[in-house]
Amino acid sequence: MDNQNISDLIETYLKQILERNEKIEIRRAEMADQFHCVPSQINYVIKTRFTIPKGYVVESKRGGGGYIRIIKIKLSNDTDILSEMENLVGDRVSQDDAFAIIQQLYENEVLSKREGNLILSVLSKQILQMDLIYDEEQLRARLLQAFLERLGYEEAE
C-alpha cells in the first residue's frame, strides 16, 4: 500500500504528468535533487519503467542544456498495433516485456481483461521456466507470436 520505494515514487510522478501531456522533459540532476536520490537512479527508473513495450520513447542530450525527454507513444489502428507488437516480441521476450505488451493491447481495447489475463497466465516465468532444457524467453516469444497472429485473424473477420 505505501511501502513505496523511491523508484516507484519517481515513476508515479512522471506518469502523472504524462497523463496530461504528450511528453515531458526533465533535467536529471534536478529530478535527483527533488527526490533525494543519486542521478543514476533516474536512469534506473527510466530503464525499468519507461520502455518501449510499456509505450514510451526516451530521448536525451548531454552537455550544457542537456535533458531527458520521455514521450508517450500513441498507437493507431488495431492492425498496426498488432504488427508493431510482433516486431517488439521478435524471437525472444522477457516476462516483463510480454506483460507490458498485453497491458498495451488491453488499454487499446484489442483485448478484454479476461482475455489478457488468460494469455498472461501462460506467459509467466512460473509456467515457462520449467526445466533448463529450452530457452524460456524464446518459448515465450513463440507463444506470444501465436497469440498475436490469432488476434490478427480475429481482426480481419
Partner DNA sequence: GCTCATTGACTATCTTTGACCTTCATTATA
Partner DNA sequence: TATAATGAAGGTCAAAGATAGTCAATGAGC
Task: Give the count of residues interacting with DNA (CB under 7 A).
Answer: 32
Q: In the stretch 60-79, what mask flags binding to DNA with x, by CB under 7 A?
A: xxxxxxxxx-----------
- As measured in angstroms, the least distance from the Cβ of 128 to DNA is 12
29 binds DNA (CB under 7 A): yes
Three-state SS at 56: strand
At 24 the three-state DSSP class reads: strand
- Under 8 Å CB-to-CB from 128, ≥6 apart: which residues? 122, 136, 139, 140
Does position 100 interact with DNA (CB under 7 A)? The reply is: no
Beta pairing, strands 67-72 & 56-61: antiparallel
Cα–Cα distances in Å, from 34 out to 9, 26, 63? 11, 11, 21
Out of a second copy, DNA, none, which partner does residue 132 contact, by CB within 5 to 8 A per kind? none
Give Cβ neighbours of residue 34 (< 8 Å, ≥ 6 apart). Answer: none
- Residue from 127, 136, 137, 156 touching a second copy (CB under 8 A): that is 127
Q: Should residue 76 be labelled a site residue for a second copy when binding is judged by CB under 8 A? A: no
Is 156 an interacting residue with respect to a second copy (CB under 8 A)?
no
Residues near 120 by beta carbon (within 8 Å), at least 6 away in sequence: 98, 99, 102
59, 79, 80, 134: residue in contact with a second copy (rule CB under 8 A):
134
Q: Where along the sequence are the contacts to DNA (CB under 7 A)?
A: 3, 5-8, 26-30, 37-44, 46-48, 58, 60-68, 125
